[in-house]
Structure 1
Amino acid sequence: MAENRASAYTEGVPCWVDAQLPDTAAGRRFYGELFGWTFEEREAYGGSVVALLEGEPVAALTPKSDGRMPTVWTVYFAAPDLGALAGRIRAGGGQLLGEPRQLGPYGTAALAAGPEGAVFGLWQPGRHAGFGRRHRPGSFGWVQLYTRDTEGANTFYGGLFHAALFGPGARPDFGRAPVGDVFPAEMPPHFLVHFLVEEAATALDAVVRLGGRVQVPPFETSYGKVAVAVDDQGASFAVMER
């Protein structure tokens, strides 16, 4: 099964994304039409619905348990030994945000924050290793860390995942840039999940038609043409055309 491809998701590789939403039924309508997703219920998976592309898992939509929580997309990095990785996060100046959560037979999830406060997830796989589809239209394509301290990010995340994450020979699917390159300088540091699309302009037209909005118009990057959008509930994400 595609969900058992654990070898594709070694430590530090982006392996999963989810959206914390006030209304998952509305999320199904929005993202189902935008990306062609279908959905299945998984009660053991925290009450989430899992989005499928061509029958394979690509994301989850999770109901917010507390209205004070942000409406946001979160990227999860593979953590075969979550406990050891959590120790390195603390040693590097980051923190775990609450206790890890066992999600039935699928795996264990935890939320963490880097020294600047950018939130990301960790995923220790059980039955679910991660994306069954990626790098194709309608699925995960990239995650970008927007930071105010690029050298600090190099040090923290490079040490965390024992890898050179940025620059020549860097790990694929994960980059970083100064906040001010795309967003106003006052924007907090954050991770931005990118979904691959056939045409960015067509995807943005669909976003607006479905009740979302364009936050940042299309711009060119080294990894493709990117635009930032906000869904009809306030969760930001990027679409990427290659």
Structure 2
Amino acid sequence: MAARPEGTPCWADAMFNDIEGAKTFYGEVLGWTFGESSSEYGNYTQAYRDGKAVAAVVPPMPGQDGSQPSAWCLYFASPDVAATAEKIRNSGGTVVMEPMAVGDFGSMCLAQDPAGVVFGVWQPGAHEGFELEGETGSYAWAEVFTREPAKSDDFLTSVFGYNAKKMAVEDMDYKVFDLGGEMPVLGRITMTPEDFPAEVPSYIQVYFAVDNCDQAVDRAVKLGGQKAFGPMDSPFGRFAAIVDPQGAAFAVIDTRTTVGDVPDMF
């Protein structure tokens, strides 16, 4: 596989207190199977769809009390994680986990933008990232939900060299970022006090593709998840936001069921 351009979403994982519960939930909702836990790397466990790596789950690290809420973390590709970490600092962000090698799989760091959005950076080695994208049960899209859009926008364009375009969406401040091509790689939504309680921090929402949005939501709710938003039609697909039983937020989208015209961008 050719190296992904810097700033391309390339991987997602989440930490769960109850790993077996997470496996059951995502196995049922997204059709994932799971590999063997890697004890050498904190029992990191990869998830697969049709035999291809799509995400990973991991228990809390030694010393953590398990009080941290579960959350999905999106990683962006980098040819040099140390150089990207320096750009993060110079652009007003915070490196919360310094660059480190993960065996021969690659190198990573964790960071936070000036608005508090947490994300990861991945420099691939043997593990290049998603082996399946845009297909059922795999990564489809991601959006930065931020309370301080100007800070997040400036940071993202500075660190990853994105081009930013505003999308003409009624009653919503929405931008998309691209890397010079026609296809955007990331969305950004402004969080308003009316729609998001003060206790909800800025975050990145990861979308996974499904065959039927409504059925995926029904499965999630039956397994103890909560529907946060939707299902709703859009020009990009029918989608819904879900909170899993351990508190991790994510979204599902059926990209084949579209309604309406794609909004203009400028």
Runs of 5+ unmatched residues, structure 1: none
- C-alpha change, 1:170 and 1:114, in structure 2 (3 Å) is closer
Give the CA deviation at 1:73.
0.6
| CA distance in structure 2 between the aligned counterparts of 1:182 and 1:47, rounded to whole angstroms | 40
Give the CA deviation at 1:54.
1.1
Runs of 5+ unmatched residues, structure 2: 168-175, 179-183, 256-266
Contact 1:157-1:165 at 8 Å conserved across structures:
no
1:52 aligns with 2:48: yes
The aligned counterpart of 2:31 is 36
Contact 2:10-2:76 at 8 Å conserved across structures:
yes
The aligned counterpart of 2:7 is 12
Instruction: Report the more deviating stretch, 216-225 or 26-35.
Output: 216-225
Give the CA deviation at 1:47.
1.6
- Report the secondary structure of 2:238's partner residue: strand
| CA distance in structure 1 between the aligned counterparts of 2:205 and 2:197, rounded to whole angstroms | 16
| CA distance in structure 1 between the aligned counterparts of 2:84 and 2:194, rounded to whole angstroms | 30
The aligned counterpart of 2:126 is 127
The aligned counterpart of 1:92 is 91
TM-score (norm 1): 0.91
Contact 1:6-1:130 at 8 Å conserved across structures:
no
Contact 2:232-2:238 at 8 Å conserved across structures:
yes
| CA distance in structure 1 between the aligned counterparts of 2:140 and 2:165, rounded to whole angstroms | 16
Report sequence identity in percent.
38
1:184 aligns with 2:179: no
**Matched residue type, 1:203:** A
The aligned counterpart of 2:258 is none
Give the CA deviation at 1:6.
4.3
Computing the radius of gyration from Cα coordinates, the structure with the larger value is 2
1:225 aligns with 2:238: yes
Give the CA deviation at 1:53.
0.8
The aligned counterpart of 2:147 is 148
Contact 1:6-1:129 at 8 Å conserved across structures:
no
The aligned counterpart of 1:211 is 224
Aligned length: 237
What's the RMSD between the two structures over aligned residues?
1.9
**Matched residue type, 1:205:** D
Q: Deviations over 1:134-157 (max 9, x none)?
A: 111110011100112323322110
- Report the secondary structure of 1:227's partner residue: strand
| CA distance in structure 2 between the aligned counterparts of 1:149 and 1:221, rounded to whole angstroms | 25
Instruction: Report the more deviating stretch, 219-228 or 104-113.
Output: 219-228
- Report the secondary structure of 2:116's partner residue: coil
**Matched residue type, 1:237:** F
Give the CA deviation at 1:34.
1.1
Give the CA deviation at 1:52.
0.6
